[in-house]
Structure 1
Amino acid sequence: MVQTWPRLRFADRSAPGSSGESAWGRHFNTASSPILAGPSMVLGPDFSPRRPSLGNSSQEGSPLSGGGHDCSPPTGVMEAVGVAPDGAQLIASGFSNEIVETILHSRAPSTRKLYAWRRFTPSLGRHPLVSRFLRGVLRLRPPVRSRVPTWDLAVVLEAFCKPPFEPLEEISDRFLSLKTAFLLAISSLKRVGDLQALSVAPSYLDFAPGMAKAFLHPKPGYIPKVPSSVLRPVVLEAFCPPPFREPEQQKLNCMCPVRALDAYVHRAALWTDQLFVCFGPSNKGQPASKQTLSRWITDAISVAYESSEPPSPLGVKAHSTRGMVASKAFLSGAPLQDICNAAGWSTPLTFVRFYGLDLPATPGSSALSS
């Protein structure tokens, strides 16, 4: 004998005779779900309380038993929002309440919650009128960029001349990595992605006689963020190299990027052709990602401030080194076109609009003029 599956109808919440309402109907009509408030889902008058059995009927809480509490999903708006559209579509297709409940439970509870969030969260930002409105707000009320830096380069460079960043031969791999990454960032004006692409393969890294300069090239096939920009090698010049005529020169040499790079290359476990590698015990020698390099640069600033008197700045980003260094180099007399060429900016307007900072010249800015 063919089992006739009961069809569903929609009735008003206040309609009488809803005693046969299923667990799903009770779940959707909870007062705590304002999104789904409205018509309630109940079974039609032809609904039979007898359920088709696919196994031992005496087993309580059968997966297909609408009366068993095991089939009811956890209460909560997130669950209801996620499964209501799916359930409504299945019901409109003619499936019974029992089959709908079983189909909806084909996903794990965690999957249903994630699915609900990703699928049914409103995407108002994609509406054409909303997009045009936001663009209009941006034109009428353009964001005001602060030209006051949140950190001082002089404080960081001064901290690099003492522990925990010196003596260079005795410091840990972590502090050597932080110091080298930061000095290369401020000396080259490169983005983090450009630094991550630097290679130590043969003919891609070279030191001039007497450690006066260092030449670095990116890995073969690297495409910069701005493809139209000329891909130039990174040229680092030594700062106050030996022999020293006075103690102050020896101190300033602690800020030298060539010196830090030489120490880093000889110590780092270079298991790859990438310059910067991880120093942690679990991934030592593995290529450092752009996110890792960004963290190294910001950590270098934080550690430098912790070893000094000023309080640590908040919200420091690795990208802020470009504006800081470009502004200090410009104040120290470096040609603006040379700064743009080093940073990969097509026109000086980019520096003026987005990176120029209003700051006085501070100790250490002369280290960037070259």
Structure 2
Amino acid sequence: MGSAAPRPDGNSAQRQGSTFFQPKARTRIGGGRCASDSMALSHPSLCVPPLALSRQGVKASRIPSGTSDSSCSRVAKKTVVCGPSQSRQGRALTVGPPSEPSSSRTSIFRSSGSLLSGGLAYERRRLRKKGYSEPVISTLLRARRPSTTLAYARVWKAFDSWCATAQVQPCRASIADILTFLQDGLKKGLAYSSLRVQVSALGCLRGKFEGSSLACHPDVARFLRGVRNLRPPLRAPCPSWSLNLVLEGLTVAPFEPLRRASLKDLTLKTVFLVAIASARRVSELQALWCREPFLRISASGVSLCTVPSFLPKVVSAFHVNQSVDLPSFSEKELQSSHGSDLKRLDVRRVLLRYLEVTNDFRRSDHLFVLWQGPKKGLQASKATIARWLTCSIASTYIGCGKSVPDGLKAHSLRSQASSWAESTQVSTQEICRAATWKSLHTFARHYRVDVRGPSAASFGSSVIRAGLSGSHPI
């Protein structure tokens, strides 16, 4: 080929000589790089470039943009240079772009394809045996929420892996096989609620056993009762963080005054006040709209609605058509001894300021939008809003010089809001309407926490005082 001109990839000590590449058939890979399907060795001292073993090696071996041919040679390491003792016959050399690692971010729709393929195939097959048409089957499969379907898919995947190890066909698993699978989950530390989800998922996968559903099978029901006795569903009787401390922290810097608060602190304060004043789930907060007619502002407060396409956890006329009503304190309340703090915690005032600041960069009609990064102005996800809620609690604790409580969860705001409302003698109907519970049983069983403190001991003190003042028995 002649003498090589000086360039970054060249070696001046080995420019001259008759060593050259002789391409037999060249196939373009793309991006201006060419590769030879086979290269014949015309001299025993042929030098081939080493394969890139790392991302840095790949970048170093790339030809600058604008170069149309990449058949130029580089001196290879000694271990890959064909010497006289090695075979002189040319071998096919496959050259391709470096393999890039797959993205770790998997969306709910991207992951559903691989997770649901096995379970839905079994379920579709079972529904086809009943004589249902494909449109009917598609409608039947939409009876579950996407989150429930994905939870079932994870159970199906775990059960399929277990069946492969136990050499059992998933569609022909017996009650004994299913109970063994559940026992393995109990041994790994799964809670009673998780095992109930597994029973529901396997019931959809397997169908009926002996004329009844899997959950109603006597042995399965007895197994679940045993799990509940072994691991009863306990919940903390007291809240893990103090609402009083957090509200006091929101009335001072860096959250006040609002005109000087950063966009981050303003967002954290707005999200927390809306969540605690409404007792709504994070999914409902994420679906709130900031345009009319879904947003109505008046002197008495703010009324918000979710977008019509949003489906709540329970799809019913009661849950779908509920609005989020945020109050505003009256002038009489603002003139009281705690009037200055109430004004700083007025949800209407904080929300209007948030809408005013975000209006300049807003790219979504969702109420809460991202405040930084390349997606600034787009709607915030449920995970992001949940992180903002826990971050607002942690920020107030740090600002007060206290250690952040362990195990902070955004869902704990619902129990705090409803429990404090009950302590101030708010009617049960109002609590259930605000938190979208159809009955008080849900609040009493899952969300009620003791926020009253030592005053709850009035019963015991009354008994002792009455016993001391009473007459002695005959």
Shorter-chain TM-score range: 0.5 to 0.7
8 Å CA contact 1:327, 1:355 repeated in 2: yes
- From 203, 227, 231, the equivalent of 1:138 is 227
> What is the aligned partner in structure 1 of residue 252 from structure 2?
162
Could you give the per-residue CA deviations for residues 208-236 of structure 1, whole angstroms, max 9, x where no partner exists? 1xx32111111122211111243211111
Most deviating of 136-145 and 352-361 = 136-145
**Which residue of 282, 296, 313 maps to 1:192?**
282
Identity of aligned residues (%): 33
Contact kept? 1:183, 1:255, Cα under 8 Å: yes
Q: Contact 1:188 / 1:235 at 8 angstroms: preserved in 2?
A: yes
Q: Structure 2 counterpart of 1:312, which letter?
A: V
Contact 1:212 1:241 in 2 (8 A): no
1:109 positional shift: 11
Greater shift after overlay, 129-138 or 229-238? 129-138
1:31 alignment partner in structure 2: none
**Would the aligned equivalents of 2:304 and 2:323 in 1 still touch at CA under 8 Å?**
yes
Q: Distance in 1 between matches of 2:238 and 2:253?
A: 28
Distance in 2 separating the partners of 1:281 and 1:242: 42
Indicate the structure whose relative CO is greater, using CA pairs within 8 Å and at least 6 residues apart: 1
- TM superposition shift of 1:330: 0.6
Instruction: Please state if 1:298 is matched with 2:390.
Output: yes
SS in 2 for 1:235: strand
Structure 2 CA distance for partners of 1:148 and 1:244, relative to 1, 3 Å: closer
Residues 1-370 of structure 1 mapped to structure 2, 5 A cutoff = 123-124=161-162, 128-133=178-183, 134=186, 135=195, 136=223, 137-141=226-230, 142-208=232-298, 211-228=299-316, 229-230=318-319, 231-239=321-329, 241=331, 244-245=334-335, 248-269=338-359, 270-360=362-452
Q: Is the contact made by 1:240 and 1:250 (CA closer than 8 Å) also made in structure 2?
A: no
1:5 is matched with: none
Which whole-Å CA distance do the structure 2 matches of 1:239 and 1:171 have between them? 22
Task: Encode CA deviations 1:230-278: one digit per residue, 9 max, x unaligned.
Answer: 3211111113558943563022211111111111111113322111100
- Identify unmatched segments of 5+ residues in structure 1: 1-53, 58-69, 71-107, 112-117, 363-370
Provide Cα deviations, 1:115-168, integer angstroms capped at 9, x if missing partner.
Answer: xxx999984498512354445353222232112211010010000110011001
Q: Is the 8 A contact 1:194 1:224 kept in 2?
A: yes
Cα distance in structure 1, aligned partners of 2:276 and 2:446 = 17
> Distance between the aligned counterparts of 1:110 and 1:309, measured in 2?
43
1 CA distance for matches of 2:375 and 2:387? Answer: 16
Question: Could you state the TM-score of these two structures normalised by the residue count of structure 2?
Answer: 0.49
How many residue pairs were aligned? 259
Contact 2:284 2:306 in 1 (8 A): yes
Change (3 A) 1:245 1:328: closer
CA contact (8 A) 1:240 1:252 kept: no
The gaps in structure 2 that reach 5 residues or longer are 1-37, 42-50, 52-98, 103-153, 164-169, 171-176, 187-194, 196-222, 455-474
Aligned-pair distance for 1:282? 2.2
RMSD: 3.5
Question: How far apart are residue 341 of structure 1 and its match?
Answer: 1.6
CA 1:124–1:353: 2 relative to 1, 3 Å: farther
**One-letter amino acid matched to 2:315:** P
Q: Deviations over 1:55-108 (max 9, x none)?
A: 989xxxxxxxxxxxx9xxxxxxxxxxxxxxxxxxxxxxxxxxxxxxxxxxxxx7
**Matched residues in 1 for 2:235 and 2:283: separation?**
24
Asked if structure 1 preserves the Cα contact closer than 8 Å seen for 2:303 and 2:325, the reply is yes
- TM-score of the two chains, using structure 1 as the length reference: 0.62
Cα distance per residue 1:19-39 (max 9 Å; x no partner):
xxxxxxxxxxxxxxxxxxxxx
Structure 2: how far apart are the matches of 1:245 and 1:120?
A: 61
Whole-angstrom CA distance in 1 between matches of 2:453 and 2:314: 30
Q: Secondary structure at the match of 1:143?
A: coil
Q: 2:72 aligns to what?
A: none
Pick closer, same or farther for the CA change 1:320–1:241 going to 2, 3 Å.
farther
